[in-house]
Chain A
Amino acid sequence: MASPIRILLAKVGLDGHDRGVKVVARALRDAGMDVIYSGLHRTPDEVVTAAIQEDVDVLGVSLLSGVQMTVFPKIFARLKQEGANDMIVVAGGVMPDEDVVALKKMGVSEVLLQDTPPEKIVSRLRELVAQRGAR
């Protein structure tokens, strides 16, 4: 039996909504993944610490508050510092097109905007983990 894909879903920033993340969490669980949910208002440092301790395949960061351009540089800096270079980082939420482009340049593997259907999220994550290969 292959191990399930492990993903950490984290909410960063001040917005207090996690309905969307919870819907995604259930969809991923129903697709056979192990989903660790860290709760609201996490800092980039806390998110990376958790992702490393949990040895997740995917770190999914959801934000609605428009802080992506300050959050992701911090996340990548911390991942690098911890030597976790094989972590797949995915962004979710609402953001302008130019930010999507900038985030991908920074190393974000995929940006899943708010209205992405759950099936699409599932298949994209599977694809990304398969591309990375064993570790």
Chain B
Amino acid sequence: MVPSSELVARVQAGEPAAIARLISRAEQGAPEARDALTRIYKLAGLAEIIGITGVPGSGKSTLVAKLTEKLRANGVKVGVIAIDPSSPYSGGAILGDRIRMAELAGDPGVYIRSMATHGASGGLAHAALEAADILDVAGFGTIIVETVGVGQDEVEIVKASHTTVVVSAPGLGDEVQAIKAGILEIADIHVVSKCDRSDANRTVVELKQMLTLGSKAKDAKPPWQPPVIGTSAVSGDGFDALLEAIERHRATAAGGPLGRERRLAIAQFRLKKTAETMLLRRFADDFAQDGAALARRLTCRETDPYSVAAEFLEQTTFCESHGARHEPDGRSKIA
């Protein structure tokens, strides 16, 4: 097993196998990789991250492929993280986003990584953002993250990007799917895909109506108003406009309060997820160790679940590492 710390320099050199392995370690939440990922975090921050979401089948992967082609033509190296849901029954997943990106398969300037929602034992958000950092350090200038816009984790991950694109498609039943999925508000840019279809215009019109209703007319003009852009993978229309809108959003945010707020929100999300993951892991480990013994006191009803849980949580939450336990006087020591 190659130590993760040795992978960092190889990631910086852009070596695909090293990038791949370090992403896997991040997904596994391997403690061994922590130092390496600490270094990655400090080295990252150069890449532009674009989040793309929308209901299933709305054309996200097709859009990612088209966008990537355009970016490649401008000489930008592109990393793609495509997240698909795991089966709730088996925990397994079929990850099919690559099928739509077949055209990009031979290009060394494109790195595509598929991720399953349950595949990351260290937490999905954690793994996805760490994967983005790893690709960033490996020299990919733009990183596109695709998730299905259902499920809180998936939506939050896409929100934690510099520019968020929400895709709606005609003919999927509900005209304004973003509303139903609760993702209307997170869009910096709205895309209506499949505009080669005759019913697409209705989706565009309804979406625009929804957006005007949503914005308070009397307010001062906000620094950014989400545009609605129609695209068609069949004719190729709209992708230049989309790229231009992404660039405009980047320029509006750069250096200004919009960008500062966004970066702080992303960092805050990152911190929350990291703390959550650490806490859950500690909780699981400590409970495996002490749970049965504590539960025994409950079976004879000499005490109650609230008191025992509070006692357990105090130990778990405030102990630096495993084995550290609070003494009766409140100080902790290593047992």
Contacts and interface: CB of A to CB of B under 8 A. Distances in A.
Interface in B70-105: 86-87, 89-96, 98-99, 102, 105
Given A29-B90, A29-B92, A35-B92, A43 B106 contact: yes
Contacts of A33: 92
B57 to A, nearest CB: 16
Contacts of B89: 30
A38 B21 CA distance: 20
A55 B20 contact: yes
Nearest to B100: A39
Nearest to A43: B106
B189 interface: no
B132 interface: no
Interface in A27-82: 28-39, 42-43, 45-46, 49-50, 52-55, 82
Give 6 closest A-B pairs by Cβ, nearest first. A55-B20, A29-B92, A39-B99, A46-B105, A1-B121, A32-B92
A102 interface: no
Given A35-B95, A49-B105, A82 B90 contact: no
Interface of B: 1, 15-17, 19-21, 23-24, 27-28, 86-87, 89-96, 98-99, 102, 105-106, 108, 111-114, 116, 118-119, 121
A42 B113 CA distance: 17
Given A29-B87, A37-B96, A4 B16 contact: no
Contact of A25 (B94, B111, B113): B94
Interface residues of A, number: 34
Nearest to B121: A1
A39 B102 contact: yes
A2 B121 contact: yes
B90 A35 contact: no
A22 to B, nearest CB: 9
A50 B95 contact: no
A26 interface: yes
B313 to A, nearest CB: 22
A50 B98 contact: yes
A83 B121 CA distance: 26
Contacts of A54: 20, 112-114
Given A29-B94, A32-B91, A54-B113, A82 B28 contact: no
Contacts of A4: 91-93, 116, 118-119
Contacts of B96: 36-37
A50 B105 contact: yes
Contact of A38 (B28, B102, B106): B102
